[in-house]
Structure 1
Amino acid sequence: MKVEVWQGDITRLDVDAIVNAANSSLLGGGGVDGAIHRAAGPELLASCRELRGCPTGEARITPGFRLPATFVIHTVGPIWAGGSKREPELLASCYRNSLALAESAGVASIAFPAISCGVYGYPLEAAVRIAVTELRRPRPTGSTLQRALLVAFSEDMARLYRDALA
């Protein structure tokens, strides 16, 4: 799978799936979660209500509705608490579970925001290392995934991703 960096608004990407850095209710919030819910329309909220939430580290999939992306994969990243509450393991699990759901849906292209890096306070460099490590893991035989985008909202984040991939 080819891993690339893209800077901009994840809701505008024409990929098979975008990943939503959601909260455990899956009912929308701030940051990328709120932006995805606004862009996808009220149908996304109705679909998420039926899922009845998602534990930290796990992922759920819905249609993309009004987004260019066919699917939204919702994952709940850990809130940073100093690193002693399994945060690295849970963040890695977000990427692994999102990729597995994408493969089960036949996804070829997927875009990830910086999970847990906003209000959840995950240290950026540590989060970038986990994201790159997980996306570079060999995929299972027969995987449909061909391309993963690490989406950065800021130039600083894009630079961290590019440095980690170099």
Structure 2
Amino acid sequence: MMPIIQLVRGDITTIHADAIVNAANSSLLGGGGVDGAIHRAGGPAILEACRAIRAKQGSCAAGEAVITTGGKLPARYVIHTVGPVWNGGSKNEEQLLANAYRNSLKLALEHGIKTIAFPNISTGIYHFPKQRAAAIAVETVQQFFAYSTAIEQVLFVCFDEENYNIYQKLLHT
């Protein structure tokens, strides 16, 4: 069966999925935007798990991903991935963003996750151009489906109307 890609406008912390993805910073200790919202809604168990990962491996580099409990969230797991800061496209940002999606999907596969929800990684304070980021996200997920169909559903969760409209055009053309 071919996996389903769905678009949702809303708050990723309220999504019922096996895992949600956190657009984390490299410290894994919370921050602003999606990262801060997930840590606040999920409670201290997520921060404790992130501290344990930091103690074991240090920070998380751009393009990499780690997994923790979902704490008090409806999702069982949170996959924390670090997207790149946009520097005009000259610092391998597109490949790093694709890696963030790809490595999140690989972790999901390793943990038997069937449904996963992604936010708009790197498009907030990291200033990645929204149109380009959405195209990379959709293309990377579709390429992953050619490799594996074990993940049954991917949700792209857009908090704002602008990102929602961008994804809607990409997914319905």
Normalized against structure 1, the TM-score is what?
0.97
Q: Which residue identity lines up with residue 36 of structure 2 in the other structure?
A: G
In 2, the alpha carbon distance for the partners of 1:57 and 1:156 equals: 24
1:81 matched to 2:83: no
Q: Residue deviations 1:1-55, cap 9 Å, x none? A: 2111100000001100000000000000000000000011011111101111211
In 2, the alpha carbon distance for the partners of 1:130 and 1:144 equals: 21
1:27-38, aligned counterparts within 5 Å?
A: 27-38=29-40
In 2, the alpha carbon distance for the partners of 1:61 and 1:47 equals: 9
Alpha-carbon contact 2:45-2:69 (below 8 Å) kept: no
Query: What SS does structure 2 have at the residue aligned with 1:18?
Result: strand
1:1-166, aligned counterparts within 5 Å?
A: 1-52=3-54, 53-137=59-143, 138-141=145-148, 143-166=149-172
In 2, the alpha carbon distance for the partners of 1:91 and 1:162 equals: 20
In 1, the alpha carbon distance for the partners of 2:10 and 2:164 equals: 9
Q: Structure 1: which 5+ residue stretches go unaligned?
A: none
Q: Residue deviations 1:88-111, cap 9 Å, x none? A: 000000000000000100001000
- Count of paired positions: 165
Q: Which residue identity lines up with residue 13 of structure 2 in the other structure?
A: T
In 2, the alpha carbon distance for the partners of 1:65 and 1:37 equals: 9
Alpha-carbon contact 2:120-2:157 (below 8 Å) kept: yes
How far residue 139 of structure 1 moved from its aligned partner, in angstroms, is: 4.3
In 2, the alpha carbon distance for the partners of 1:61 and 1:4 equals: 22
Coordinate RMSD, CA, aligned: 0.9
Identity of aligned residues (%): 53
Query: What SS does structure 2 have at the residue aligned with 1:84?
Result: coil
Query: What SS does structure 1 have at the residue aligned with 2:125?
Result: coil
Normalized against structure 2, the TM-score is what?
0.93
Q: Which residue identity lines up with residue 45 of structure 2 in the other structure?
A: E
How far residue 140 of structure 1 moved from its aligned partner, in angstroms, is: 3.3
* Alpha-carbon spacing, 1:70–1:139, altered in 2? closer, same or farther (3 Å): farther
Q: Which residue identity lines up with residue 102 of structure 1 in the other structure?
A: A
* Alpha-carbon spacing, 1:12–1:78, altered in 2? closer, same or farther (3 Å): same
